Structure 1
Amino acid sequence: MTRMIIPSTFLRRALLLDAVSCAALGLLMAVCAAPLGWWFHLPLPLLRESGLVLLAFAAVLGWACTRPQLPRLLVLGIVAGNALWAIDSVLLLLPAWIAPNGLGASFILVQAIATALIAELEYVGLKRSATAAMA
């Protein structure tokens, strides 16, 4: 049986922050991949496809923000997905993967740190959420 939670206000706000930031960054990366690729020396397919993934993730997060109850595993999956995104972003900077310029490396690191912080906020919000009563 799926364990449901009643999201705390803190969790709802963290999910909303995640949704808005994913939508904004995803739209920027998907629509402006060419100029961003030129400025940051990043591959266009990486930027465009990452942007599309972020837009899809933003839609899921937006939906989750509106639910009166959520599966605990869904929230843990969101936290884990954000943590993996942050880790993979840093690993992407290892030699032989991509070769961004300093501005591109900074862009990747800043969004990785922001994503890790949002994952932490969501985890704290999950711990503050109440377990839903079993019907």
Structure 2
Amino acid sequence: MSTFASSPRFLRGVLWADAASCLATGTLQLSAIDALPRLFGLPQTLLLDSGIFLVAYALMAAWAATREVPPRGWVALFAIGNVAWAIGCAAVVALLQPTALGIAWIAAQAVAVLVLADLQWMGLRRGAATPRTALG
């Protein structure tokens, strides 16, 4: 694993997984925007705004995944953003009291982004990205 984790292919794969999961989540939230607020017990504006954000984030992660060697600054930003998303998920559950299905939806996102953040940090630690520059 250490050899694979130190290759740009590893980090590109993680970025593609991040992009795909965000695109799927965001697209679902946007396409079912009338039903999900009732099912999840969450405000429609929260689901709409986060859905739009997720699709935009997916496009940025996909762009980074297309680079021969992913930009180190961008990967670090994605990892930090994923940890922040997980913290935000915990805050949403605590503050908004979603339904059981809503809690499951939020928990799945939190777990997924924490795994992705860990893999992104692993790739950075093992040197699978371009040298440090200002986000590039």
Task: Give the shorter-chain TM-score range.
Answer: 0.7 to 0.9
- Given the two structures, how large is their TM-score scaled by the length of structure 2? 0.84
Contact 2:11/2:129, CA 8 A, preserved across alignment = no
Q: CA distance change for structure 1 residues 30 and 131 in 2, over 3 Å: closer, same or farther?
A: closer
Shift in Å, 1:129: 2.9
Shift in Å, 1:56: 0.2
Return the letter of the residue paired with 1:116.
L
Structure with greater proportional strand content: 1
Return the letter of the residue paired with 1:22.
C
Return the letter of the residue paired with 2:62.
G
Return the letter of the residue paired with 1:122.
Q
Listed as ranges, the gaps of 5+ residues in structure 2 are 1-5, 132-136
- Given the two structures, how large is their TM-score scaled by the length of structure 1? 0.85
2:102 maps to what in 1?
Answer: 104
Shift in Å, 1:120: 0.7
Return the letter of the residue paired with 1:47.
L
2:67 maps to what in 1?
Answer: 67
Give the Cα separation in 1 of the matches to 2:49 and 2:130: 37
Contact 2:26/2:54, CA 8 A, preserved across alignment = yes
Shift in Å, 1:7: 6.0
- Which structure would you say has the larger RCO, counting Cα contacts within 8 Å and 6 or more residues apart? 1
Contact 2:41/2:102, CA 8 A, preserved across alignment = yes
Contact 1:15/1:62, CA 8 A, preserved across alignment = yes
Q: CA distance change for structure 1 residues 111 and 25 in 2, over 3 Å: closer, same or farther?
A: same
3-state SS of paired residue (2:96)? coil
Deviations 1:10-68 (A, max 9, x none): 11110000000100101001121221111111111111110100000000011001112
Return the letter of the residue paired with 1:60.
M
CA root-mean-square deviation = 1.8
1:3 maps to what in 2?
Answer: none
Listed as ranges, the gaps of 5+ residues in structure 1 are 1-5
1:13 maps to what in 2?
Answer: 13
Deviations 1:82-109 (A, max 9, x none): 1100111112111xx3121111111111
Give the Cα separation in 2 of the matches to 1:16 and 1:34: 29
